[in-house]
Chain A
Amino acid sequence: KAGVTQTPRYLIKTRGQQVTLSCSPISGHRSVSWYQQTPGQGLQFLFEYFSETQRNKGNFPGRFSGRQFSNSRSEMNVSTLELGDSALYLCASSLDGQGRTEAFFGQGTRLTVV
Chain B
Amino acid sequence: DAKTTQPPSMDCAEGRAANLPCNHSTISGNEYVYWYRQIHSQGPQYIIHGLKNNETNEMASLIITEDRKSSTLILPHATLRDTAVYYCIVRTISSGSARQLTFGSGTQLTVLP
Binding site for B on A (CB under 8 A): 4, 31, 33, 35, 42-45, 48, 50, 55-56, 58, 88, 90, 92, 97-100, 102-108, 110
Contact = CB atoms under 8 A, between A and B. Distances in A.
Give the one of A43, A58, A98 with max B CB within 10 A: A43
Given A99-B93, A100-B93, A102-B49, A56 B99 contact: yes
A98 B98 contact: yes
Nearest to A42: B103
Given A43-B44, A105-B44, A56 B101 contact: no
Bin chain B's interface residue count.
20 to 34
**What 5 pairs across the A-B complex have the smallest Cβ distances?**
A105-B43, A99-B98, A43-B103, A99-B93, A102-B46
Given A42-B105, A102-B49, A58 B42 contact: no
Interface in B42-83: 42-46, 49
A103 B103 contact: no
A4 B43 contact: yes
Contacts of A107: 42-43
Give the one of A56, A88, A99 with max B CB within 10 A: A99
Given A33-B99, A48-B100, A108 B46 contact: no
Given A42-B105, A105-B44, 17 more contacts: A4-B43, A44-B103, A45-B102, A56-B96, A56-B99, A88-B41, A92-B43, A92-B44, A92-B101, A98-B94, A98-B99, A99-B92, A99-B94, A99-B99, A100-B93, A107-B43, A108-B42
A44 to B, nearest CB: 8
A86 to B, nearest CB: 14
Contacts of B93: 98-100
Contacts of B101: 33, 35, 43, 45, 92, 103
B67 to A, nearest CB: 23
Contacts of A55: 96, 99
A45 B100 contact: yes
Contacts of A35: 101, 103
